[in-house]
Structure 1
């Protein structure tokens, strides 16, 4: 047996599955008939073959080494061109078995082919090109009206696919070791099954990692309808199922694409499947996707794909940059649009147990919509727990380069939790705060002008245990003494936050200090300034995001 590579120019995806059907249904029966006649006169055989194939979607271009008797024929080499689909075939060492009855019915009973070389002829609406190498092929039509085809001995397929949105074709290589089996009645009615393996499948135009893949395929055609049922098996028992139907004459089709659940672990994180930026990964949780897509590809036109896509994520935990998040859940009903854009069909929901950029936010939740056509995101009633209080907004609309104004409401914020940050360990305080923050958001930059915060009755206390501050004048001496133990009945603060991250708090306090004049009433005005990005970096300093994530998962 000779294994040969077959150079195949561009062609449509359907061509690689149809040549053997046409070959058996029309070409080989005529070759067998001609082989018998050739026993008497080769010229007559070639004339009859040419006439018989004149109105068929195939024609013989070259034939050599034809020998036949009344039951068998052998051909050293034969070249055939199929017009639909456009394929040029070279078959070497062909053996045919037949009877007079089968010849009268224009068919053979069995075919054995040691070597097949195929060239897929280029068309204007081409999508693929590549090479094909196969082992021994046998065709058995003697027992039933359905011919049974087996290609064994292993082989390989090398193809190039022009993926949507990519100017350059993507090369793919598959091997097979299990026999490929098919059965057909005619070129428009057949079934086939095969299993392909790729040791390292890579799609450079997509953000996917190179990985081993096993692809199990079942194909069937009835008239103009081609059905494809496929399972793609990925590492760590991950899989993708495809059930599709395609109408050959119109280029229309539809299919269901399902992933029952990609489970992420520390050994098999998201980065094992998808190329991610440094210090970004998901190491726990499950992701399921289901899509019901339709497509249309008229000859010479752009490929159109559209339909609903449902996404459900559960307990996703991971990190990005220096930020840790745990147990993210997302439920989204979206729609893929013909221009490869995505939008939600209805309100989606998202919930997150915790996110920690240095300051921990807990129990985040929101409803949302998104539309990639204008890169817009809308958050409906987002809220989170921070410093043991509630932070919420009515609605936030985000779109690049478009300023958005909204108001954040603060409820029952715990002053002790704020001052529990390592940056403020010299101060201890109690009390709860309510307030509102008017926010202007442009891209990822937020600005707050004139935010208001006030204490919740009955107030609280402040204990300053650090050194002296603010100089040595009499007023600052009074402040130092008062803050060593200060009980406030009201706290009012104005908050301003700049685009560079500078936070300014102008605080007014009313209360008493038991250490001054037997509890004399004292009103204090303080100004506190800090840079929030620098504060977060100091809180993140020295920690590993992986260790921080592990700690969060153990605590929850």
Structure 2
């Protein structure tokens, strides 16, 4: 080994010391001069901070009350403006702790801030104006090289955000009392956890009620990936779990969203969660959902969200308008499309114990598909129990503005149950009916032309206990006498139902009346006309939907 080999590292060491020693001396001199010359402290600190921030999207706008020594510095107030994103930040009662080593490394070992106020300025992104305020914040960057932050003093956020698909900003307000904890090595590697409590959280573009929300949130970033794990706790043990990741550079992300089950009761109905039309609510049952969504937010492009959504409802009971329903169950595998539309991935299933718009329908069931892109719904083999018989169809397709033709099958309809309605209390009858009803459906208007109903052998009987009808001629007198007690062997009816709700039944009866000529055989032709909407209104009149629903729940 020669002298040149030995001398080279010594020269390098001297060169390093040449800039370290002046730097250390300069820092010491600045701090010492700052401690001795109080009137120049702010100017010295501003100069140092401005140089430190020279290559950053930030600058100091104001600072007051600086005091410094060789280990500590305190600042009454410091204001910073960040241009990306547009933020104004005010830090009050700041205390910095440092050492010779940390000063040489151009960092402090610890920071304590008693109060932070952040103003979020108008931007072209989803965030608009707002403020954030927090209590005491402590930062420790000593020895490990990993900075840790703890915010113990609680805080609040009052801001507005622009939700995807909305043209107007949405107010967002929440606060927290539990500590916020975070740790980071750099801006591209950090972790944070916090627990937020919103006393009244609402998002006006969405039909959500204002309600208290507890949010437990864990956020981490490693390189380009941002990871979020959150639990939102709503009243009555309702919760939402979120596990998501997002690539910052590409704007792509994916996440799983899960509800363990929203349980509805009379004390916590659906209306406590979402805004509903008047006289509409769900007061029993539970709803669970799971979604595996992906999203893309390209620079300057529209936000896209898509992915599978599974929904399961059990025993939902409630009312809409004057109609009550009990124990609705739904299972659906759907897909959210990029244009915020929804379609089923496969036929779903729905079953309902009862629905009562005035006439009780029981044990409804169907398979179904839906597609909101063209507002279409397909019912596959829908079936219900009506008047103790079965009403069914092979398939019903519904789409606004498109006429649909299908046939309803009637099996073993009980005549006694039909006439048991309060509108026909003067008539008693027995017997069962089969039939078919050709239906033309346009939007929500149904028309029936030439429906046929036929009695099932051996027929039945009719007992009319009302007043006289049809005039006083001889034929009508015969009808009045015959219907007081009439045993029919066959009943055939033609049914027509108009778009205005007018129902016409042309009935042909063959049978005998024991009250006439010792059981003389008599054939009767009757026409019955009624308006179905008016009939249903009369059956609903005076009843409380809440009382009717309670009655249905108690009976089942």
Task: Give me the TM-score of the superposition, normalised by structure 2.
Answer: 0.89
**1:11–1:123 contact (8 Å) kept in structure 2:** no
Q: 2:229, 2:10 → 1: CA distance?
A: 24
In the superposition, relative to structure 1, how do residues 269 and 48 fare at CA in structure 2: closer, same or farther (>3 Å)?
A: closer
Q: Work out whether residues 434 and 456 of structure 1, in 8 Å CA contact, stay in contact via their aligned partners in 2.
A: yes
Shift of 1:34: 11
Q: Deviations over 1:316-355 (max 9, x none)?
A: 0111111111000011111111111111111111100000
Contact map agreement 2:41 2:66 (CA 8 A) in 1 = no
Matched residue, 2:533 = 533
**1:366 Cα deviation after fit:** 0.6
* Alignment CA distance shift 1:10-1:295 (3 Å): farther
Secondary structure at 1:41's aligned position in 2? Answer: helix
Structure 1 stretches of 5 or more lacking a match? none
* Per-residue deviation, residues 122-162 of structure 1 (Å, max 9, x unmatched): 44334332001111211012253322211122221111011
Contact 2:253/2:294 (8 A) holds in 1: yes
Residue 70 of structure 1 and its aligned partner are, at CA, apart by 3.0
Deviates more, 1:77-86 or 1:495-504: 77-86
SS at match of 2:198: strand
- The more displaced of 477-486 and 354-363 is 477-486
Give aligned pairs, total: 556
CA distance in 1, matches of 2:284, 2:333: 23
1:222: how far off?
1.0
Report the Cα distance in structure 1 between the residues aligned to 2:11 and 2:534, rounded to whole angstroms. Answer: 58
Question: Pairwise mapping of residues 57-72 of structure 1 onto structure 2 (< 5 A)?
Answer: 58-60=58-60, 63=63, 66-72=66-72
| 1:397 CA displacement | 1.1
User: In 2, Cα distance between the equivalents of 1:14 and 1:532?
Assistant: 103
1:344 to 1:521, Cα distance in 2 relative to 1, 3 A:
same
Counterpart of 2:446 in structure 1 is 446
* Distance 1:110-1:10 versus aligned 2 partners, 3 A rule: farther
Do 2:34 and 2:41's aligned partners in 1 also have CA atoms closer than 8 Å? no
How much has 1:288 moved relative to structure 2?
0.9
Tell me the equivalent position of 2:149.
149
Residue of structure 1 equivalent to 2:164: 164
- Per mean C-alpha deviation after superposition, the further-off stretch among 317-326 and 2-11 is 2-11
Q: For residues 271 and 28 of structure 1, do their structure 2 counterparts lie closer, same or farther at Cα, with a shift above 3 Å needed?
A: farther
- Alpha-carbon deviations, 1:451-472, whole Å to 9, x = none? 0011111211112222222122
Question: Using the alignment, how far apart are the partners of 1:438 and 1:161 within structure 2?
Answer: 52
| Cα distance, 1:3 vs structure 2 | 65
Q: CA deviation at 1:20?
A: 29
- Tell me if structure 2 keeps the 8 A contact 1:448–1:497: yes
Contact in 2 for aligned 1:228/1:245 (Cα 8 Å) = yes
For 1:491 and 1:158, the matched residues in 2 are separated by 72
Cα offset for 1:28?
A: 17
Q: Which moved more, 1:118-127 or 1:488-497?
A: 118-127
- Contact between 1:128 and 1:162, CA under 8 Å: does it hold in 2? yes
Asked if the contact 1:21–1:184 (Cα under 8 Å) also holds between the matched residues in 2, the reply is no
Residues 137, 521 of structure 1: CA spacing in aligned structure 2 closer, same or farther, 3 A cutoff?
Answer: same
Q: Is the 8 A contact 2:121 2:128 kept in 1?
A: no
CA, structure 1 residues 5+388, in 2 after alignment: closer, same or farther (shift >3 Å)? farther
CA contact (8 A) 1:22 1:187 kept: no
CA distance 1:16–1:368, shift in 2 (3 Å)? farther
Measured against aligned partners, the alpha-carbon deviations of 1:200-225 in whole angstroms (never above 9, x if no partner) come to 22222222222122222111111111
Shift of 1:78: 3.8
Between 352-361 and 9-18, the greater mean CA deviation after superposition: 9-18
Deviation, 1:115, is 3.2
Bigger RCO (CA 8 Å, 6+ sep): 1
- Contact 1:411–1:434 (Cα < 8 Å) also in 2: yes
Distance (Å, rounded) in 1 between the aligned partners of 2:535 and 2:23: 74
CA separation in 1, counterparts of 2:362 and 2:530? 23
Distance 1:6 1:532, change over 3 A: farther
In structure 1, the partner of 2:103 is: 103
Q: Is the 8 A contact 1:8 1:120 kept in 2?
A: no
Q: 1:490-519: CA deviations, max 9, x gaps?
A: 111000011111111001111222222232
The residue aligned with 1:278 is: 278
In 2, Cα distance between equivalents of 1:408 and 1:263: 36
Q: Tell me the distance in 1 between the aligned counterparts of 2:151 and 2:284.
A: 43
Per-residue deviation, 1:378: 1.0
CA 1:44–1:359: 2 relative to 1, 3 Å: closer
Compared CA separation, residues 432 and 418, structure 1 to 2 (3 A): same
Asked if 1 retains the 8 angstrom alpha-carbon contact of 2:121 and 2:130, the reply is no
SS in 2 for 1:12: helix
Q: Give the secondary-structure state (helix, strand or coil) at the position aligned to 1:11.
A: helix
1:114 CA displacement: 2.6
Task: State the distance in 1 between where 2:19 and 2:524 align.
Answer: 90
> Which whole-Å deviations, capped at 9, do the CAs of 1:159-192 have from their partners, x for residues lacking one?
1011223221111211222222111111111111
Deviations for 1:9-65, whole angstroms, at most 9, x for unmatched residues?
999999999999999999999999999999999878766655554444555555555
8 A contact 1:452–1:495 mirrored in 2: yes
Could you say what secondary structure the match of 1:239 adopts? strand
Partner of 1:495: 495
SS state of the match for residue 207, structure 1? coil
SS in 1 for 2:340: coil
Name structure 2 gaps, 5 residues minimum: none
Greater Rg, structure 1 or structure 2? 2
Q: Please give the alpha-carbon distance, in whole angstroms, between the structure 2 residues aligned to 1:132 and 1:5.
A: 60
| Structure 2 Cα separation of the partners of residues 504 and 97 of structure 1 | 92
Determine if contact 2:261/2:288 at 8 Å carries over to the other structure.
Answer: yes
Higher mean C-alpha deviation, range 258-267 or range 124-133: 124-133
Higher mean Cα deviation, 49-58 or 262-271?
49-58
Which stretch of the first structure deviates more once superposed, 71-80 or 476-485?
A: 71-80
- Separation in 1, partners of 2:212, 2:14: 24
Q: How far apart are the structure 2 equivalents of 1:376 and 1:19?
A: 76
Provide Cα deviations, 1:509-531, integer angstroms capped at 9, x if missing partner.
Answer: 11222222232222111111111
CA contact (8 A) 1:33 1:103 kept: no
Deviation for aligned residue 1:83: 5.2
Residue 121 and residue 428 in structure 1: after superposition, are their counterparts in 2 closer, same or farther (change >3 A)? closer
Q: Does 1:426 align with 2:426?
A: yes
